[in-house]
Amino acid sequence: MILMFENMKPKISIVDYGLCNLYNVSNALEHIGAQIEIIDKPKEVKIAKHIILPGVGAFKNGMRGLKLRELIEPLKEHIEKKRPFLGICLGMQMMMSKSYEFGEIDGLDIIEGNVVKIPNINSKNKHHKIPHIGWNKIFLSIDGKKNQLLKSQDKKSSMYFVHSYKAECNKDENILATTSYNDVNIAAVINKDNAYGCQFHPEKSGKYGLELLKQFIKL
């Protein structure tokens, strides 16, 4: 009976490309009842149903890690088939067309737009520290309030951020939620079809982060 119960758990595939904090993400998913597998081969990506692309570090190194493991095209195919996909932090940034972190680097180009450095001064000439580290409320767009992934979020939703660069989408329709860092607007959740990205770390964001992951495994 225990084995049958284990097999009924939703299976989530976490991509390991050398820049991932696999433990925290795996631990959070197991806490909410998911079955975890770590994948790093093209054939594994091709048969996965739910994929999470976590990551910390530089955009260039992240894309290099995917390229070395020949994972770029399989990941794009997964998303083109509208299978559930979630990019976390660097994983979200790599969903964009390009990044200007240490040069100009091509991304997965799932969502049109660029990754740029967070300015260290706002429109009122007030300076702030970079990287942006800490808890911030997220604000849902009209589409975000209707989206399954953010179904359990409310006005009190606060998430944990650690980043120096931010995604700038060409189309507002791709932004489901934003946050504000000293009045600098930052895309917090992006989306296209069944592909999502979170700039924050849901696995470190307490009950609201876990609720988001719960909704992801239901997609």
Give all domains of the chain, ordered by start, each with its CATH number. 2-218 (3.40.50.880)
The residue annotated as part of the active site, out of 20, 89, 169, 198, is: 89
Q: Are 207 and 156 in contact (CB under 8 A)?
A: no
The residue annotated as part of the active site, out of 50, 101, 203, 211, is: 203
203 has catalytic annotation: yes
* Bridge partners (DSSP) listed for residue 177: 140, 189
169 has catalytic annotation: no
Rounded-to-integer distance, Cα 97 and Cα 207, Å: 32
The residue annotated as part of the active site, out of 169, 198, 201, 211, is: 201
**Of residues 206 and 20, more confidently modeled:** 206
How far is Cα of residue 194 from the mean position of the Cα atoms in its chain?
Answer: 12
Total residue length of the chain: 219
| pLDDT average, residue stretch 27-43 | 96
| Average pLDDT for the chain | 94
Q: What is the pLDDT of residue 7?
A: 55
| pLDDT average, residue stretch 180-208 | 96
198 has catalytic annotation: no
pTM: 0.94
Q: pLDDT tens digits for 91-131?
A: 999 999 999 999 999 999 999 999 999 998 777 777 889 99
Q: What is the pLDDT of residue 4?
A: 32
Instruction: Indicate the pairing of strand 105-106 with strand 96-99.
Output: antiparallel
